Amino acid sequence: MASTAIHDAVVSHQHDDHGHDHGHHKETFITKYIFSQDHKMIAKQFLITGIAMAVVAMILSILFRLQLAWPDESFPLLETFLGEKWAEGGRIKPDFYLAIVTIHGTMMVFFVLTAGLSGTFSNLLIPLQLGARDMASPFLNMISYWLFFLSCVIMMGSFFVESGPASSGWTVYPPLSALPKAISGSGTGMTLWLISMVLFVASALIGALNYISTILNMRTKGMDMWKMPLTIWAFFLTAIVGVLSFPVLVSAVVLLIFDRSFGTSFYLSDIVVAGQVLPNQGGSPVLWQHLFWFLGHPEVYIVIMPALGITSEVIATNSRKPIFGYHAMVYSLIGITVLSFIVWGHHMFVTGMNPFLGGVFMITTLIIAVPSAVKTFNYLATIWRGNLRFTPAMLFAIGLVSFFISGGLTGIFLGNAALDINLHDTYFVVAHFHLVMGCAAIFGMLCGVYHWYPKLFGRMMDERLGYLHFWATFIGAYLVFFPMHFMGIDGVPRRYYAFTEFAFMQEWLTVNVFITWAAIISAIAQIAFLWNFFYSIYYGKKSPQNPWESNTLEWTAPVEHLHGNWPGEIPSVHRWPYDYSKPGHHTDFIPQTTPFSETMSSNLIHDFEGNPEAEHIQQQWDKEHAPERYTPEQV
Amino acid sequence: MENLQIEDRLNLKAKKFLMWLFIIASFMMFAALTSGFIVYTEGNAERGIKVLLPKAFMVSSVIIIISSITAHMAYLAARGLQFSKQKLYITLTIILGIAFFYSQFTAWQALYDSGAYFVNYNASQSFIYVFSGAHLLHVIVGIFFLIYALIGAVRTIPQVRNVFRMEVASIFWHFLDILWIYLYVFLLLNQ
């Protein structure tokens, strides 16, 4: 009995925390901004860290683009900034070139497009769109961010060690990555890379566990799974993919650490370095590829699915139309989730794989085009004859669809085991994945930033700068990546330091100059975004309650953030989130919180999901007020 | 008031669910390691375990099965408000957990003596250490969960939370039990 009473006391204390203004329980600078357990603050932390990492990774990409465009030219400025070790005489050294390519990939894939994208929007939107006070475990949520931060710091720290950062490509294939003697980046830099990745995986896993548990257990009254916005479906399935695939990377990394530091031979065999035979025998480097790509391929869907979810929401809102094929959208996400686990072999067609097995992986890979195409067509059908509002967010959403199509089409060629003999490890692959998962996902992320900025910071971003940012980035990105297809078809391999050494590659030097200029212009365009983003935090226009006239729950929460999201009771949900431009209603949107009893003039019989009493009431109302809508035969 | 109590209970339910998800994640890690073992071992006839597994693994299995029973009894005691019994059984489970640790070390010693070293040209034998080592790391985490539950019981925290901690700890402990049996059977089948 006594314990029940204590329990009540605990509950009523929590009530104070949540229900009323939070002024009277003390929040210091540290608990509010640094070790915050509030999902909205954690979302901002993820976003700003992600943006910082994106800027670093983008600067790295400009550095190696300079090298590719002008391999014989000297840039004294580079020596000033990078020092003699990495840019002697103003030319980037081969070792450093490989390092920046590696770190660019790692940062973009993991830190920007996994943590920056999922971390930001899952944290912000899951509680707000589902009607929850916070995540299942706010404490673990905080841990998740700080592990991510630590892993970013360690990755950045690898630039400051003697032997330089990891430089065996973002896939860190052994034996190159396992042998410090093979390349200087495989020394301390590689160790730091592995530590950073383990911390990152821990962070991503803790985050994913939280997202899944929150979505399954903490939805508000009336919010059944089929009333969830597509954003939430996407975050949910992304988190499931993460939970099933990230632990596999840990296994792979653990074995690699043993090989590197304890002398085991999981991946190593028959290696001679500088005339010396290494003691490691009997290992299998292909084992790494299996384990790595079992994570690595689902990882690209971890990157793209949240972006697809975000654009579904933004496109429906700004087309003022219900999303086309809501159920098809969900089932195609589920299809992608399932298929993503049985396609990893298409990264390994040329590792001596049994051709029959290659055929199996080819078929599964091509099947994944089906759900992807379903999504694309549904986007187009949603936009078709919509009452379009071209906000910056909408433009970025349309940009995503464009990149997803043009990058996805080349995937059909790459997924073919026979064509892959020619195309693997060429610039064709680089063009493909930069369009379909790089540009598409970053556009999804930027779309989300523009759309939910008012929810994040309570202020609006400047639209004109947004348009400038969009067009410069959109055109720039195509100019960068489109020519790479042709280089790839001509057989130009990726990751090569200079095109001057091979006769057949020299003719592509001029194209490289063009690509580098396009890259520089699109990089400069990001300044418009960064200025807009940081300036608007302090001086942007104050956001109204529901700036985009959207249906979802987050726009019913007060603009000023408060702990627990809603003062008083959590709103309950009565309808799906896509009632835009419903015939018979006086506005072109009906929020999820509006009960059907307030929208008698626009209700349809199928809204009631077979509830005979509600149908009966509606028919009586139709008979009296709108005889043209009265359809007795449907009873 | 009643509403808020439901909200609170839902939160605990969500937190308990986190444990199930964590179990899935860590199972995936072991699934990756064991599939890695298969991919590796099938690749060449010279690979494979090729030694008899030490008897100590059998002892470990018995210890961890018994500890799973005591963990369940501690949970039942917590549910039945028999707190002194609960504390006794948690303590027993922790002791058995430490005994399991010791037994695994003896097994490693026996493996080492039979020539199946960790640093080995035949990585199938190294895998035995990786499996049991990764499992032991999980056992450490499991012991922390048990200590956390024990602290709750000693400090007489509210019953809802006491049962919650106990349940989380015992779910995880049963998982460790099943996981070890899986690994052991897997190794036996590939012996």
CB B59 within 8 A of CB B139: no
Supply the pLDDT for residue A562.
Answer: 87
Q: Which of A13-22, A247-256, A525-534 is least confident?
A: A13-22
State which of A266, A292, A314 marks the end of a domain.
A266
Best to test chain B binding among A1, A248, A257 (most B CBs inside 10 Å): A248
Whether residues A293 and A259 share a domain: the answer is no
A153, pLDDT greater than 50? yes
Q: Is A5 part of a structural domain of the chain?
A: no
Interchain pair B121, A251: CB under 8 A = no
Neighbours of A329 (CB within 10 A): 24
| A209 neighbourhood in chain B, CB within 8 Å | 18, 21-22, 25
Cα dihedral value A315, A431, A102, A201, nearest 10: 40
The tally of domains found in chain A comes to 3
Q: Is A397 part of a structural domain of the chain?
A: yes
Supply the pLDDT for residue A480.
Answer: 97
**How far does the CA of residue A284 sit from the closest CA of chain B (Å)?**
7
Closest CA to A345 of A447, A425, A416, A436: A416
A227: domain CATH number is 1.20.210.10
**How far does the CA of residue B144 sit from the closest CA of chain A (Å)?**
16
Supply the pLDDT for residue A8.
Answer: 38
Percent of chain A with pLDDT over 90: 77
Q: Return the bridge partners of A426, or none.
A: A493
How buried is residue A341: exposed, middle or buried, by Cβ count under 10 Å (0-12/13-18/19+)? middle
Those residues of chain B that have pLDDT short of 70 are: 1-10
* Whole-angstrom distance, CA of residue A114 vs CA of residue A305: 10
Written as six digits, the tokens of A165 are 């950062």
Supply the pLDDT for residue A149.
Answer: 97
SS3 for A573?
coil
| B4 neighbourhood in chain A, CB within 8 Å | 11-12, 14-15
Question: Read out DSSP for A478-535?
Answer: HHHHHHHHHHHHTTPBTT-S-GGGSHHHHTTHHHHHHHHHHHHHHHHHHHHHHHHHHH
Closest CA to A124 of A224, A236, A53, A47: A47
CB A553 within 8 A of CB A571: yes
Whether residues A569 and A440 share a domain: the answer is no
Interchain pair A136, B25: CB under 8 A = no
Average pLDDT of span A194-214: 96
State which of A206, A238, A266 marks the end of a domain.
A266
| A218 neighbourhood in chain B, CB within 8 Å | 10-11, 14
| A250 neighbourhood in chain B, CB within 8 Å | 29, 32
DSSP 8-state class, residue A418: T
Whether residues A249 and A387 share a domain: the answer is no
Average pLDDT of span A605-626: 88
User: Chain A residue closest to B162 (CA)?
Assistant: A3
Supply the pLDDT for residue A100.
Answer: 95
**How far does the CA of residue A281 sit from the closest CA of chain B (Å)?**
5
Number of residues that this document lists for chain B: 191
Domain coverage including residue A566: 561-628
pLDDT in tens, A383-434: 999 999 999 999 999 999 999 999 999 999 999 999 999 999 999 999 999 9
Interchain pair A218, B10: CB under 8 A = yes
Query: Model confidence at A629, in pLDDT bands (50, 70, 90)?
Result: confident
Q: Is A549 part of a structural domain of the chain?
A: no
Whether residues A371 and A447 share a domain: the answer is yes
Interchain pair A140, B8: CB under 8 A = no
**How far does the CA of residue B124 sit from the closest CA of chain A (Å)?**
8
| A284 neighbourhood in chain B, CB within 8 Å | 39-40, 43-44, 123
Interchain pair A290, B158: CB under 8 A = no
A191 membership: H or E segment, kind and range:
helix A188-217
* Whole-angstrom distance, CA of residue A480 vs CA of residue A489: 16
CA geometry: angle A419, A424, A426, nearest 5 deg: 120
User: Chain A residue closest to B131 (CA)?
Assistant: A251
Whether residues A230 and A367 share a domain: the answer is no
A234, pLDDT greater than 60? yes
Supply the pLDDT for residue A419.
Answer: 94
Whether residues A86 and A194 share a domain: the answer is yes
Supply the pLDDT for residue A632.
Answer: 63
User: Chain A residue closest to B39 (CA)?
Assistant: A287
Whether residues A407 and A364 share a domain: the answer is yes
State which of A266, A301, A316 marks the end of a domain.
A266
| A265 neighbourhood in chain B, CB within 8 Å | 119-121, 123, 126
Answer with the residue of higher pLDDT: A543 or A631: A543
Q: Is A72 part of a structural domain of the chain?
A: yes
- A617: amino acid identity, one letter: I
Q: Is A279 part of a structural domain of the chain?
A: no
- A146: amino acid identity, one letter: W
Interchain pair B120, A264: CB under 8 A = yes
Q: Is A138 part of a structural domain of the chain?
A: yes
Listed in sequence order, the residues at least 6 apart from B165 whose beta carbon sits closer than 8 Å to its beta carbon are B145, B148, B149, B152, B157
Backbone angles phi, psi at A609, to 5 degrees: 50, 40
pLDDT in tens, A554-574: 999 999 988 889 998 999 999
Whether residues A386 and A464 share a domain: the answer is yes
Beta strands in A403-464 (DSSP E): none
Query: Model confidence at A547, in pLDDT bands (50, 70, 90)?
Result: very high
* Whole-angstrom distance, CA of residue A571 vs CA of residue A552: 11
Written as six digits, the tokens of B128 are 């035995």
CB A454 within 8 A of CB A514: no
Supply the pLDDT for residue A14.
Answer: 42
Whether residues A526 and A569 share a domain: the answer is no
Whether residues A501 and A578 share a domain: the answer is no
Written as six digits, the tokens of A404 are 């997803």
CB A192 within 8 A of CB A223: no
Q: Is A274 part of a structural domain of the chain?
A: no
Between helix B159-189 and helix B123-154 the angle, nearest 10°, is 160
A274, pLDDT greater than 90? no
| A205 neighbourhood in chain B, CB within 8 Å | 25
Whether residues A152 and A257 share a domain: the answer is yes
**How far does the CA of residue B35 sit from the closest CA of chain A (Å)?**
9
* Whole-angstrom distance, CA of residue B164 vs CA of residue B158: 10
Q: Which of A108-117, A373-382, A423-432, A497-506 is least confident?
A: A497-506
Whether residues A307 and A179 share a domain: the answer is no
* Whole-angstrom distance, CA of residue A165 vs CA of residue A155: 8
Interchain pair A3, B158: CB under 8 A = yes
* Whole-angstrom distance, CA of residue A400 vs CA of residue A412: 18
| B1 neighbourhood in chain A, CB within 8 Å | 8, 11-12
Percent of chain A with pLDDT over 70: 95
pLDDT in tens, A309-339: 999 999 999 999 999 999 999 999 999 999 9
Closest CA to A194 of A143, A149, A257: A257
Interchain pair A205, B25: CB under 8 A = yes
Q: Is A9 part of a structural domain of the chain?
A: no
Answer with the residue of higher pLDDT: A606 or A141: A141
DSSP 8-state class, residue A274: T
Supply the pLDDT for residue A17.
Answer: 41
- A393: amino acid identity, one letter: A
SS3 for B145?
helix
